[in-house]
Amino acid sequence: MSLIGKKAPYFKLRSHNNEPVMLSQLKGEPVVLLFFPFAFSGVCTQEMCNIRDNFNVYNNLKAKVLGISVDSHYALKAWAETMGIGFDLLSDFNKDVSAAYNCLMEVFVPGVYDYRVVSKRSAFVINRNGDVIYEEILEDARLEPSYDKIVEILKSLE
């Protein structure tokens, strides 16, 4: 079920720096949520490094970018430090937020890894009023979200 046009599901998660981050703290600014399966994995590293390398684009659009995975905040901290990621990575270790955003993958790469219940690679844009205005939930973990579309949506909010 699509969340577009609905209030973004509330969350309170721990950042990679073990700080609480609540969606309610971010009202008044656009938010980009990027769910991903695993820290230190190939496509996830490529995705977050793409955001890192183009962070000025999101910053200039006054958007708060948050990465979310089911990894522990300890793993996310090590990954952020290793990759030089300067934006918050949030631990959805209990999988509640991924479930609320309808982006849980039952089996990650069936027949190869068979890891159970991880975040699907997904992108959501939440406007200043807390409404979901864009969602992209990818069934294929090898794909990345449409960065151009995310930026286009953010520009439409200016």
Catalytic residue numbers, as ranges: 44
Sign of CA dihedral 98, 104, 107, 108: negative
32 three-state secondary structure:
strand
Nearest to 61 by CA among 135, 153, 123: 153
CA–CA dist 68, 73 (Å, integer): 10
Burial of 65 (0-12, 13-18, 19+ CB in 10 A): buried
How large is the angle between the packed helices 42-53 and 73-83, nearest 10 degrees?
A: 60
Distances (CA, A) of 74 to 22, 68, 77: 19, 13, 5
Cα 151 off chain centre by = 15
